[in-house]
Amino acid sequence: MNPTLTNAWSRLAEHANSLTHTHLRHLFAIDSKRAQHFCAEACGILLDYSKNRINDDSLRHLFDLADACDLRTHILAMFEGEAINTTENRAVLHTALRAQGEAHVQVGGHDVIPDIRAVRARTHTFAKAVREGRWLGHTGQVIRDVVNIGIGGSDLGPLMVCEALRPYADGPRVHFVSNVDNLHLLQTLKGLDPASTLFIVASKTFTTVETLTNARSARHWLVEALGSEAAVAKHFVAISTNREKVTEFGIDADNMFGFWDWVGGRYSLWSAIGLPIEIAIGPERFDELLAGAAAMDLHFRTAPLKENLPVILALLGIWNINFLGFTSQVIAPYNQTLYRLPAYLQQLDMESNGKHVRVEGETVSYGTGPVIWGEPGINGQHAYFQLLHQGSRIIPVDFILALSQPGQTDPHRRTLIASCLAQSSALMSGRTAAEVRAEMQARGVAAAQIETLLPHRVFDGNRPSNTLLLKDLSPRSLGALIALYEHKVFVQGSIWGINSFDQWGVELGKQLAVGLEKRLEGAETPAYDGSTEMLLAYVARQKTKTR
């Protein structure tokens, strides 16, 4: 159903107008229990959403919208393996990758759980062999460094998790290469010993141009150093489904780990794509990551909508985007090891819901996916937070803070927590002219100077945010956090009526790049647009000058 045709949508539009001039300070003043009222907790995560421009009526209308769009049916369809990726006629079953216990998930009449667990058993065995020094390189040396070569979902997810769980890393050092700019590969390989380096090439089709270009260069580096083509089989493994291409590269097919077309790239870290995570932190802790995500899956599937963390987070986003006009969203993690989380969530959200047509092919008449951006909040306070506090645009923020993790000590921990809570409070409350004047008067500032500085030091406040507190930053907690955002994105796509699981815009760029690379190699190709032709000509002239 088109959400704009529901009564709930109309009521939300009217209701938003009634809150236009309502300040969050006022909402807190009239309800002493507001913070307790507008919070929810599950799977070791507390979500405080009291600093949003909402009241009880807002939530009631939002939950009515979810019901009008038949959200529960959409949730059930995903978990039961229906082909909800309609443009590719595929199921969407990243949740099956972390299913626990005696689970059974049917795809086309076939239970996929045994297949999943068979591949996981192989990755576990391989990871243990590498970690325990039983997998030896071509010259008999143990593996000390692992380089994952991938791009997009084959890089962002595993990289983010490996960095987030770095305090748990007790295996070989894990590195990631994604950029086809060869400096990324060269800088990564600098200082590594080819005899003790293992490469993981992550490409479902084993045809991804950027990944294969980097993989071939890495192969050349290895063979040149070790003096034998046979070395490839002991220093390269593949995460792929294309056995022919993998073996043609020189990788032993026994060292190819597959996954399925119902695993989207941005949801694939739970699959064999997570092999670098397993090598870094160990299979047992990888299983804990899966268990944390599975716990959030269970919560999402069974909790009432009014207590459901992914549903609440998603509906607040819809409220901000479609009814308050806030079309951007900041992700501000405060733990340093979560520094890659914003980049990961950019792909998860923007590749999923960056769509302008509904499932039926009808052009939408309302906003869909927000612009996701951010950096660690503790540094951001001294950088982009200025715009959040006093900029002309209002941009909601998700503050994310794990209260403990291995290696954290006071007073660092106290300062970290205080900084996070202070920023969310400041965005909500702001600072009035009267407060600024009183503060400067107390400091003895001259009256004329006060009036000059006053406009610059006033903060309007009333800027919405969520605060997500994790009890710790363990593999289990991280798994739950990632799954929370996965399901948030799914809920928003379901209500907007778009397909969150294809990415045809990404595919177009890939197709054009193939032809352009041929032109750069000197081949004749059809003419491109005027701008592209001008840029190609400029590139050709510069190439001539450097010869």
Helix, strand, coil abundance in the chain, percent, nearest 5 = 55, 10, 30
Give the burial string for 117-137 (b: 16+ CB within 10 Å, else e): eebbebbbebbbebbeeebeb
Exactly one of 33, 190, 382, 545 is catalytic; which is it? 382
| Other CB atoms within 10 Å distance of the CB of residue 342 | 23
Matching residue, tokens 């748990």: 168
CA dist 61 and 69 (Å) reads 12
| Other CB atoms within 10 Å distance of the CB of residue 31 | 15
Greatest pairwise CA separation for the chain in angstroms: 81
Instruction: Tell me whether residue 510 is one of the annotated catalytic residues.
Output: yes
Choose among 346, 396, 487: nearest CA to 42. 487
Exactly one of 510, 517, 518, 543 is catalytic; which is it? 510
Looking at 19-55, list the stretches that DSSP marks H as alpha helix, in order from N- to C-terminal side. Answer: 24-30, 34-37
Instruction: Tell me whether residue 382 is one of the annotated catalytic residues.
Output: yes
Exactly one of 94, 351, 486, 488 is catalytic; which is it? 351
Give the burial string for 523-538 (b: 16+ CB within 10 Å, else e): eeeeeeeeeeeeeeee
> What value does the CA radius of gyration of the chain take, rounded to a whole number of Å?
26
CA dist 440 and 450 (Å) reads 7
Instruction: Tell me whether residue 110 is one of the annotated catalytic residues.
Output: no
CA dist 233 and 249 (Å) reads 9
> Residue 221, exposed/middle/buried by CB under 10 A (0-12, 13-18, 19+)?
middle
Catalytic site positions: 351, 382, 510
